[in-house]
Chain A
């Protein structure tokens, strides 16, 4: 498939490139993320799938106010996602990205969780608000 270019809004600046993991329900670092493994946690529909080092794609965030703590600990352990792309940034998920300073973008034309598939190679350029899918 040829390269596709998407435009979105920059929530937290920066560039990243890597493999996408797409979760089609709202995500929270507290409850959905296993800090001992860097994977999606027990009870999640995608339990066991790796988030560490991936570009997280999800509709939005949700839930608990201590999530930035988990994100920070994940970063320290080098098992955090390297960027977040979502349809609509919620305050807590945005704060996670800002706290650990990974690129985050939202508000794409169309549903980002359909535009990108798990395993796609994705490049994010915060300075131009551009996402390139190989």
Chain B
């Protein structure tokens, strides 16, 4: 790998031990994937839950990050600093998390990391643009940055994003290179009228595509360019849950893909994925609910809810009450919740018995559900995927309307 003089000095430890550790991770990582050099990044988005000793080591002697803006991902599974008691999250888990959080916080403050705690960084001030190279954590945000904005992000892990924020650099490889961003597989919807689909339908479609596409770049053909952000988010995020898709061109929407032909670079697609109603139903069927079964907890907000999505829940919940046997959680960013408050949404949700939380709603990488939570319903297939694997709860995936109804009656019915 060819390094600049400054990078050589970093690697030799002349800029301090933390920077040395950070750049050595990036150099080893780059070498493993044949990157010829490091490139500057314009934005970073990190986890604020890094292992404490690791964080201490890698920030040793670092007073300033190497990048202009750094935002933080949500805190880990179901731990909201202010709401955990109200949510019923077990004491032992939450108190240990709080202790760790308070140990890490002074380090992030010293480095001027913006405490956004959300998986929708673009909605709370981390603005990125086409062609910019970024280092972000979170499979969903990486995919949205590549596919909706045309910024360049790799699928990468928590340690390289922190190392990139510290050094302001990342190895030039993978999806950062224009030639690696072209679509390889074409996806077509058959017998599905996209404008009649709910956002849960779109997630079900996406979950199916992700499993078929694995880690290939895809282009989705034949969609209108009028889809709302919430629908596009639904169509993208599950691709990196059932699969490992890094970029999904949406012809006519993705800045690099005015047409399917351009997305494919004028080449023939390697393969084609056709999705119809049956395939969509297969995704729902992976997390089925049984008529009449009790629902202990309803979870919204994976990824975090937009204010529009909060408004949809408000419409369904207005003037009604959540069952005394059921909890209702809505996950979003603090900044979005503030706007929801201004709109009068918080009052309506809280009077009905719902709780706003600012943590990760998918349990990743671990979370503790309230004691006695046997069955959980969610309108997020990503949350359904992870919660069903990482906790003991049974998980139902259903529409926002069915989930709200189950919160009110305490029973699943569709």
What residues make up the interface of A, taking CB atoms closer than 8 Å to B? 11-12, 30-31, 35, 42-43, 62-70, 72-73, 76, 89-92, 94-96, 98-99
What residues make up the interface of B, taking CB atoms closer than 8 Å to A? 25, 28-29, 32-33, 47, 49-51, 53-54, 137-139, 142, 154-160, 174, 215, 244, 364-366, 386, 389-390
- In the bound complex, how far is the Cα of B158 from the Cα of A91, in angstroms? 12
Q: Which residue of B lies closest to A28 (CB)?
A: B244
CB-CB under 8 A from A72, the residues of chain B are 51, 54, 159
A40 to B: closest C-beta gap in Å: 13
Contact A70 B365 (CB under 8 A): yes
CB-CB under 8 A from A76, the residues of chain B are 51, 53
Contact B159 A64 (CB under 8 A): no
Contact A63 B244 (CB under 8 A): yes
Beyond A43-B389, A62-B244, A73-B51, whether A95 also contacts B365 by CB under 8 A is: no
- In the bound complex, how far is the Cα of B173 from the Cα of A115, in angstroms? 30
CB-CB under 8 A from B244, the residues of chain A are 62-63, 90
A89 to B: closest C-beta gap in Å: 6
A28 to B: closest C-beta gap in Å: 10
Overall SS of chain A's interface: helix
Contact B49 A69 (CB under 8 A): yes
- In the bound complex, how far is the Cα of B386 from the Cα of A31, in angstroms? 8
- In the bound complex, how far is the Cα of B95 from the Cα of A57, in angstroms? 37
**Contact residue among B32, B159, B364, B389 (Cβ-Cβ distance under 8 Å from A99):** B159
B406 to A: closest C-beta gap in Å: 25
- In the bound complex, how far is the Cα of B29 from the Cα of A73, in angstroms? 20
CB-CB under 8 A from A42, the residues of chain B are 389
CB-CB under 8 A from B174, the residues of chain A are 91
Beyond A30-B364, A63-B244, A98-B25, whether A68 also contacts B158 by CB under 8 A is: yes
- In the bound complex, how far is the Cα of B49 from the Cα of A68, in angstroms? 12
CB-CB under 8 A from A62, the residues of chain B are 244
Contact A94 B29 (CB under 8 A): yes
6 residue pairs, one from A and one from B, having the closest CB atoms = A95-B157, A68-B157, A99-B159, A68-B159, A11-B32, A72-B51
- In the bound complex, how far is the Cα of B156 from the Cα of A68, in angstroms? 10
Contact B389 A65 (CB under 8 A): no
Contact A31 B157 (CB under 8 A): no
15 contacts between A and B (CB under 8 A): A12-B32, A30-B365, A63-B244, A64-B139, A65-B157, A66-B158, A66-B364, A69-B158, A89-B32, A91-B156, A91-B174, A95-B159, A95-B160, A98-B28, A99-B159
Q: Which residue of A lies closest to B140 (CB)?
A: A65
Q: Which residue of B lies closest to A11 (CB)?
A: B32
**9 further contact pairs, Cβ within 8 A, besides A64-B364, A95-B156:** A12-B28, A66-B47, A66-B137, A70-B365, A73-B51, A94-B29, A94-B32, A95-B160, A99-B54
